[in-house]
Amino acid sequence: MKNVKLIAFDLDGTLTQHKSPLSPENRAALVKLSQKYKLLMAGAGQCRRIFDQMEHFPIDIIGNYGMQYARYNPETKDIDILRNESVTACDRETVEARVNALRRDYGYTEYKGNNVEYHPSGCLTFPILGTKADIADKLAFDPDRKKRRVFYDRVVADFPEYTVFIGGSSSFDMAPKPYDKYYALDLYCKEHGLTHDQVVYVGDDYGPGGNDEAVFKSDIPSIKVDDYRKFPEYMKEYLED
């Protein structure tokens, strides 16, 4: 703890419920932590979405697994996007064919909306229930991720050019290699003169296929959060005066 200079966080499931704002208790904990440490968000989504969800909490943000980076500007009380990378457009025909094969082989041929969601960064989402599925159906589909873990290895094998994550409640998220949260944090350390033992990462998605897994399996010290409502308890040692 004496060496720690930076604490990096996941958002959904770690600090908040999915796509929800910070609770007053968790916001207060972040404010107190910021008095002792540099704070950083390391997210799967875009920096702007993360910043808005946090209701403009003053924090720097890594987005899209390292493809985006935003610095908080105290003068404007907004974020400045300093990095916004994207990859060459993918071959949608082959992507659709691979997803259709997965749907046929595992019995998910019925869906609402689009078969695949294509993001400007080059990231992909394979929404098992489709892009227009009802939110209630999404939340009820696979809360323990058992359904998706059945064929996670197959998705990984079928999309070798991507890092594949079991995302949200009913999808697979894919980031162009080499991007993932470990890659993003390692790059941040190199750019800011930090060693890995000066960083602590806090996340909830540390299991197989989780988007925090790469960090938890690395040499960066990590804290597991299993209930975002108890976030201050997980951070007790760092919050103590």
Interval 175-194: pLDDT, tens? 999 999 999 999 999 999 99
Fold matches, 6-85+179-239 and 92-176: no
| 3-state SS, residue 217 | coil
- Nearest C-alpha neighbor of 158 from the set 126, 198, 192: 126
Domain covering 92-176 assigned CATH 3.30.470.10 in the classification: no
CATH number of 6-85+179-239: 3.40.50.1000
Helix (H) or strand (E) holding 163: strand 162-167
Sheet with 6-9, side-by-side order of all strands: 78-84, 68-73, 60-63, 38-42, 6-9, 199-203, 222-224
Q: Where are the domains of the chain?
A: 6-85+179-239, 92-176
Contact 33, 67 (CB under 8 A): no
**pLDDT for the residue 4:** 97
Q: Is the pLDDT of residue 1 over 90?
A: no
Q: What is the mean pLDDT of residues 152-179?
A: 95
**pLDDT for the residue 241:** 76
Share of the chain above pLDDT 70, in %: 100
Mean of per-residue pLDDT scores for the chain: 96
**pLDDT for the residue 88:** 81
Q: Which residues contact 115 (CB under 8 A, 6 or more apart)?
A: 96, 99, 100, 103, 130
**pLDDT for the residue 75:** 98
